Structure 1
Amino acid sequence: MDFSVPEQEQAVADLSRRILGDLSTPERHKQLEADGVAQDDQTWRALSEAGLAGVSLPESCGGGGLGFLAACLVLEEIGRTTARVPFLAPVAAMAVAEFDPQNALLAEMAGGSVLVSPALVEPGRDPADPATAAAEASGGAWLVNGTKQMVPFADRAGYFLVPASVGDGAGLFLVDSSASSVEVVPQQTTSGLVEGRVVLVDAPAQRLGEGSEPVDWLAQRCVTALCAVAVGVVGEALRLTAAYTSEREQFGRPIATFQAVGQRVGDAYIDTEAIRLTTLQACCRLDQGLEAATEVAVAKYWVADGGRRVADAAQHLHGGMGVDRDYPLWRYYVWAKHLELALGGATAQLLRIGDALAAGKI
């Protein structure tokens, strides 16, 4: 079987790696942190000008016309460099293109000048089963009420994609963040990634598509996108650990030659490859329009469970260097912890897999 990445997608990955490798450096991160800047506008602008922000949007709106896999390869490189850019915005824009292909904002989304952020989180609820957010038709329009938590880059988003209950079902709604009935309250995160609480009070909205399908479509791709970012995060954490243990000496030889260290790095390698494989499987099934709910849950389970082990091993094997803020590993640790819990941790994914088993879907 051929597991190689297609030529066009590989070119996207290579271009992303060059841009992010040049701009999203440890030195750049230190400067942004010293300046108290949460988003790296320079790097986002470079990605947008290279066509990577809209690589998976249709060519008719200025996008690259490639599939979800191309977007995930860009996200992997974002994770590899812990770039402070709104990495879920391109995925949200894909949902707009899928369910409202004539939307006038798509060209600006493809160019990266308009950000749309998925507002999926209600504590204790599945993203596809909203409860606190509700929508109702009013005079030929839609009004949305409710609160969403942990909305990524909420302070920069021009629009939010909000799942909301509609009668006995759910719908996906596009809400303008500049409306007076929309309030954004900043939320602090341990990872430094910008998030916010979005409060909607009779907020005017546009419904995308019909029924609950758009909500499921967006939720599955956002979860898989987080997994793609995690592939880059754990991959780079492992690389740093392998390099450090090969150079750090104790008792006259590199600690990588100690059996316990080698076993710990070997286990981290297995977890990293499991995260990569399960994410690629979920991504490819979504790209082909196949049912992928279980594959997405499996990938996110590995990110939550295996990603935690990789991050713990990397920090443990670095010793004091692992928490030194002059050394880059700590960023990968806090990002791994953020991605572990975002949109459902290991237990939530196992419950989804268990439900699928009970229903005979596996």
Structure 2
Amino acid sequence: MTPTPPARTPVALTPEQSDWFATTFAMMVDNVEQVVLGKRHVIELAFTAMVSEGHLLLEDFPGTGKTSLARAMSQTVQGVSTRIQFTPDLLPGDVTGITVYDQKTGEFEFHSGPIFANVVLADEINRASPKTQSALLEAMEEGNVTVDGVTRATGVPFLVIATQNPIEQAGTYRLPEAQLDRFMMKASLGYPDLAATIRILEGTAAIRQDLSPVITPQALVSMSDIARGVFVNPLVYDYIGRLVEATRDARQVRMGVSVRGARALTKAAKTWAVAHGRVFVTPDDVKALAEQVLAHRMVLDPEAEFDGVTASAVIGQILLDVVPPSRSDLA
């Protein structure tokens, strides 16, 4: 376990806070990488989303380690993880929980659903009906669930890792744009490289069921507080704003990135910066996360999709076209 985080100051981050954050973040990633081999960048993205109080959408093939990632992250932060297998017959109450009448006490008793956890794996979310999918929305946005008029808080910290299969689309319900916008990031684990595959086959990296915790949930909340205090130069805010506006003006795009997307990119860039030892955000931090944070929020023109244009390619071109502030401007 790492030592207690240094106390937050209301004005600016101290070098001690920045060093503690970067060291702890690296330790968390190292811990999970014992289970999810060769995917350090995706693990960093997942923890960035968690610390930034966002959620992660993984569009990936079956058997790539999505469940292992969720379980390892929850163990790393000494939290509780749950898994919801979304199916066409899944009901909203199966996610949030239901109120049951207890004949012995003569009172109604709430039976909590799997949404009450620190890390929730929503597996194949696009297989459930839109009504059930929407049961996640309040929890993802507000961190609480309302059942029968009573609001109850979910876990703290709280991260939803939703998955969907990009290949098999029969019998699925496409996530609406409003729901996609609730996810801070969209990423893909993908298959392990040859070296990691060989290590798995040789047994030198056997899947471990239990990982030692690195921090407590309360310490992770402190990390979120620290990330909020990272300095953002007005020119970097302007750069983020120009990137978002460019997504709305691109000719291949029917609907660009919302204000929520711009805020998500700012929050994620703050976490990314301090995780790499800086107390301020640079344009490179924004560039490093732009595709994962912005691409899934865009709706492409049907003709552009027919021509093979992807949202990631549009973001890549926008990053080339929109000039970032120079180091001298930021100094």
- Is TM (by shorter chain) over 0.5? no
Q: TM-score, normalised by structure 2?
A: 0.30
Q: TM-score, normalised by structure 1?
A: 0.28
Structure with the larger helix share? 1
**Which one has more relative contact order, counting CA pairs under 8 Å at least 6 apart?**
2
